[in-house]
Amino acid sequence: LFAELGMPKNLAKTLMFISQVDECRSADVEQGADLRQPEVSVAMQEMRRRGWVKKKDLKKKGKGRPVHIYKLTRPLPQILTTFKDEKMKQVETIKSDLSELHNLIKDYK
């Protein structure tokens, strides 16, 4: 439903997966949400930008990149409320724009 309401599909799939676990690695999201690594990376960046998820790095033994561990920063209902507020604001903007357009063209024949 998130995707039907305008949330990017990969973001919605990532959000739903991570909301069902305490914390997870990128690879867990890839498998659990049936996404590729770049798709998970983009979704996680957006979720971090929105403040919905936090990331911590887990150092591996030896060399190599650390493993990223992700965890939601707030419960899913709170995220839904934020998303709903964003969408309602968009609806109000559209209504206002349509009203303004109507006023501009009402005298045209």
Please report, for the chain, the start and end positions of each structural domain, with discontinuous segments joined by +: 9-105
CATH 1.10.10.10 fits 9-105, yes or no: yes
- Tokens, residue 107: 């005298």
- For position 67, what pLDDT does the model report? 86
- For position 74, what pLDDT does the model report? 94
Mean pLDDT by 10 residues, the chain (109 residues): 82 94 93 94 95 90 83 93 91 94 83
- Per-residue burial over 75-99, b if 16 or more Cβ lie within 10 Å, else e, is eeeebeeebeeeeeeeeeeeeeeee
Length of the chain as a residue count: 109
- For position 109, what pLDDT does the model report? 67
Q: Are 29 and 16 in contact (CB under 8 A)?
A: no
- For position 61, what pLDDT does the model report? 76
- For position 36, what pLDDT does the model report? 95
Does the global pTM surpass 0.85? Answer: no
